[in-house]
Amino acid sequence: MRKRRRNNLFSHLFLTAGAFVMIFPLLWLLSSAFKNNGEIFSANFSFIPRQVTVENFKNGWNINPQYTFGHFLANTFFLVGSLALGNILSCSLTAFAITRMRFPFKRLVFRLVLLTLMVPSQVLLIPTYLIFSRLHWLDTFLPFIIPAFLSTQSFFVYQLIQYMRGIPKELDESAKIDGCSYFRIYVNIMMPLVKPALCSVAIFSFIWTWNDFLTQLIYLSSVRNYTVSLILNSVVDGTSLTNWGALMALTLISVLPCIIIYFSAQRYFVEGIATSGLKG
């Protein structure tokens, strides 16, 4: 009994230390957002600002001479919303077809889905860039939105396939007897039942797109189309004095949507991931 308590104590101490290490950058960010530049890098570090200031948020909101930070937030929300919607619709349709419909080379299609999971996305950057360049899609949101509506995220397809395999096919047969088409089965039966998996797809899509920097840097060149990650990168200037306080304030604003989205849909997110992993 004593040994078990001792092990539990060590486990809790280890987890507490790990949690503090993980949350320390967020605490430092929160503290620095309300400090001036001199206090941020002061040798006498303290989480509590000696002099609380909100000038960082005012200066950060107008960090660009042409557009406010709200413009870049709107661009990012439009992009992540479009991609989340596209991934939900296209990937769920693909998963439904693989799990519920009969067509030639069905197993081959599923194996190709698994195969593409092993291909790093960076490998495809140059070919896709050349394709989008010939289509005159560069410096627009089309290179992000159009592929999302074409079921290009194999991870989401595989996750939804695993979830749909756990739904009894008797429901489909009963619906067919009542005269329902495949589309009616998809809309009225399958979509409500896979809501947890769809929520996890939406959360993953939201966070990945929100945090994406490389592909947005490649395809977006004009400031008017910049997203949050691009404008934050442009604030850091190696040739002049960076306003670190304003940068911390903007970074704090930029991480809030991801935190809010995750905690508001945490139950569906965990259920979707856990249940998808149990289906065979």
| Cα(219)–Cα(153) distance, integer angstroms | 18
How would you write the pLDDT of the chain (280 residues) with one tens digit per residue?
666 777 788 888 899 999 889 888 888 889 989 988 888 887 787 888 888 888 899 988 998 888 999 999 999 999 999 999 999 999 999 999 999 988 888 889 888 888 888 888 888 899 999 999 999 999 999 999 999 999 999 999 999 999 998 888 888 888 888 888 989 999 999 999 998 899 889 999 999 999 999 999 999 999 999 999 999 988 876 656 778 888 999 999 999 998 888 888 777 767 666 655 544 4
In this structure, whether the domain defined by 65-278 belongs to CATH 1.20.120.140 is answered with no
| Cα(223)–Cα(230) distance, integer angstroms | 9
What are the DSSP calls for 117-136, one per residue? TTS-GGGGHHHHHHHHHHTT
The pLDDT of residue 173 is 87
User: How many CB atoms sit inside 10 A of residue 262's CB?
Assistant: 13
The pLDDT of residue 273 is 63
The pLDDT of residue 238 is 62
The pLDDT of residue 121 is 84
* Locus of tokens 């998963």: 95
Q: How far is CA 275 from CA 5, 155, 166, 265, in A?
A: 32, 15, 9, 16
* Locus of tokens 């395809």: 219
CB neighbour list of residue 60: distance below 8 Å, 6 or more residues apart = 69, 243, 245, 246, 247, 249, 250, 253
Domain ranges of the chain: 65-278
